[in-house]
Structure 1
């Protein structure tokens, strides 16, 4: 690999901070070990006046969430993870191999939340980022029992993970339909923030269908002002009937988690979470549909060339893959997609986000502008390829496996394909390709995803050079 010529920008510019994942449990321990200083009483003889709500108003008892929460809280659990990490005092791999006895094992522990959704089978929903990379996962129930959890599967691009615990005297939260959820509906968040124990916060739905948050995967969030703090990830967002409407996943704060909650919390709609869970339980993986197109933003210059107004927003089709859903539906290069199933499409990111949330075989009604004229097309989504072996597309890539770039990378501004694995001693390995590399350009042609990468090899280039991102550096590799 040629020495990288310039550093790349940070792959993922996270402005979404804080409910992500667990956090170091020792941080909370250190915070509570300092004893609080008691304030002196002003006068022992002066009785304290305590303001309290009356038990009734106009003869009617005050409403309370307590009866509903008595049914919900037994099904919300704390998730404790352990990850073993080997740490060496040497940064250079040569010295790490020479002195393996100096490598030490360290255990990272973190806390999050989860929700029991099937008491008979012991199925628990949580966030992918809560259990990502964990070697051990245990679940503590509201009654104090701690049970070892079995990992069923997870989907990084929707941040959903499924676990299973022994089904003994469990309670579950019933599913609601998150589709009719409206701005202004009351919701309650239940989780284990900061590891202090089960905590309940309440608020309203601030927005639905929220997307465009950098650094996250496919997005269709419920936004709420119910406080969501570190450790709340994977917890329950319920309606006033005690039914699950969302899985808490993130809070937004430009100043980071230390600044506290500012009333911008996000949850994954339960309809999406349930669909992902069903696939993970059945097959251990999530299959997604795709139109089979590449697109770009409709800017003012392109809009003028296509005879469209400057206020028109959409995704301009730049490539239609053969044998794809878009080709079968009659979509053409130059068409501008402005809506999909009634949802506004402002550009290629919005189109990819829409596709990523759809299932295989699902019909999609597209509102299209073709040469300035409105047109409606219906496409039936086909399976999105998950990975491909390099040997299938070019002998020089033999030994490497390529997969779609995680959507959270794309939200950070990166496009291309991810090198999932490289076989030791293979042709690709001898050329310097490594697992974890992101291929962003190639002499075979331009591409933004795995389908485009594959399509470029119908005619193999005489010389194959890949531009890759490795860590925070960029460089090129000549594939032999």
Structure 2
């Protein structure tokens, strides 16, 4: 990023370069691709014509050997997926796998030495950070919008709510989905996902958009590449957050035939520890469960009727609908 400033030379004011994000865009933009997904609908009765529907989206090249991240809804049920680089090169893409809970999908194209988005594993986004959304809105061609991060989400695998995402006000329109959200150094901050929607269509909501955080998106991608899908641990309980000064959570409901039920957990139990990890809140606890390998046992420490109990629970698998 270049900062605007002024200097004086021989008593005269000399202007320097204005504020610009051109360097960030030049680093990131070549790795943001246009994605066209085509569905071949069945022909109507008495007609030989096949009605094709093409959807528009964006994607991000994460690896020089052709792995591309995008949103699952961009390629869902597509019969043909085409990827276009900014150089004009076109590739047919294969869907490696997807994850409905984060709305992410991994594509693979048969190519090498592709431009890769700058990435930094230790990157942490903060509210107030300036971000740039790069994509192909409304098929206008590659476009950059600018905003700030309004709120940050968690990086775990457990939640399916908006809490998991980065909230920002850089505009996301049709075609932007699956594109890159980058910082002012051009480093990947997240995968652009969606705009805020709610049931009351009468309200004109503006400036609320979401992206999947980079760390979560990268973790999901690696799991899909390794296994073809994302596996999440499942305990099978509903929970209630305890007051901030009290550690742990209370079980409010238990799913039938769940790991929790089989282990003997009960409604009203106050859970305060998994193995040797002290539970500080519901979100942390759900993340621990989600990232525990299905089939592995964890020791659940809890209070019940003023007694301390420790029960081993064999974690199950949360099924990913559609996989």
Q: CA 1:227–1:339 in structure 2 vs 1: closer, same or farther (change >3 Å)?
A: farther
* 1:162 and 2:106 are equivalent in the alignment: yes
Secondary structure of the equivalent of 2:97? strand
* 1:384 and 2:317 are equivalent in the alignment: yes
- Report what 1:115 is aligned to: 60
Write out aligned runs for 1:91-130 (5 A): 100-102=45-47, 105-119=50-64, 121-130=65-74
- Report what 1:293 is aligned to: 236
Q: CA 1:178–1:227 in structure 2 vs 1: closer, same or farther (change >3 Å)?
A: farther
- Kept in 1: contact 2:236–2:258 (CA 8 A): no
Secondary structure of the equivalent of 1:149? strand
1:68 to 1, 24, 48: 24
Bigger strand fraction: 2
- Kept in 1: contact 2:82–2:92 (CA 8 A): yes
Q: Could you tell me how far 1:267 is from its partner in structure 2?
A: 0.7
Whole-angstrom CA distance in 2 between matches of 1:367 and 1:225: 42
* 1:205 and 2:149 are equivalent in the alignment: yes
Residue by residue over 1:413-460, the C-alpha shift from the partner in whole angstroms, topping out at 9 and shown as x without a partner, is xxxxx9x9xxxxxxxxxxxxxxxxxxxxxxxxxxxxxxxxxxxxxxxx
Q: CA 1:251–1:312 in structure 2 vs 1: closer, same or farther (change >3 Å)?
A: same
Whole-angstrom CA distance in 2 between matches of 1:296 and 1:185: 33
* 1:81 and 2:37 are equivalent in the alignment: yes
- Kept in 1: contact 2:237–2:260 (CA 8 A): no
2:207 to 243, 257, 263: 263
1:248 to 192, 211, 235: 192
Secondary structure of the equivalent of 2:210? strand
- Report what 2:6 is aligned to: 57
Residue by residue over 1:102-135, the C-alpha shift from the partner in whole angstroms, topping out at 9 and shown as x without a partner, is 575211111000000101x111000111000100
- Kept in 2: contact 1:176–1:270 (CA 8 A): no
Q: Could you tell me how far 1:279 is from its partner in structure 2?
A: 1.6
Q: CA 1:240–1:356 in structure 2 vs 1: closer, same or farther (change >3 Å)?
A: farther
Q: Could you tell me how far 1:358 is from its partner in structure 2?
A: 2.5
Secondary structure of the equivalent of 2:219? helix
Whole-angstrom CA distance in 2 between matches of 1:259 and 1:323: 40
* 1:146 and 2:78 are equivalent in the alignment: no
Residue by residue over 1:141-199, the C-alpha shift from the partner in whole angstroms, topping out at 9 and shown as x without a partner, is 11122211122111112111011113244200132347732212222211111111111
Residue by residue over 1:343-385, the C-alpha shift from the partner in whole angstroms, topping out at 9 and shown as x without a partner, is 643xxxx699646852427998989664579x89898873406
Whole-angstrom CA distance in 2 between matches of 1:323 and 1:257: 38
Residue ranges of structure 2 left out of the alignment (5+ in a row): 8-13
Secondary structure of the equivalent of 1:72? helix
Bigger helix fraction: 1
Whole-angstrom CA distance in 1 between matches of 2:116 and 2:309: 43
Q: CA 1:104–1:205 in structure 2 vs 1: closer, same or farther (change >3 Å)?
A: same
Secondary structure of the equivalent of 1:86? coil
- Kept in 1: contact 2:248–2:273 (CA 8 A): no
- Report what 1:394 is aligned to: none
* 1:316 and 2:260 are equivalent in the alignment: no
Q: Could you tell me how far 1:278 is from its partner in structure 2?
A: 1.1
Whole-angstrom CA distance in 2 between matches of 1:137 and 1:324: 39
TM-score by length of 1: 0.53
Whole-angstrom CA distance in 2 between matches of 1:225 and 1:198: 18
Q: Say how many residue pairs are matched.
A: 305
Secondary structure of the equivalent of 1:124? strand
- Kept in 1: contact 2:59–2:70 (CA 8 A): yes
Whole-angstrom CA distance in 1 between matches of 2:83 and 2:17: 37
Q: CA 1:256–1:188 in structure 2 vs 1: closer, same or farther (change >3 Å)?
A: farther
Whole-angstrom CA distance in 1 between matches of 2:124 and 2:21: 22
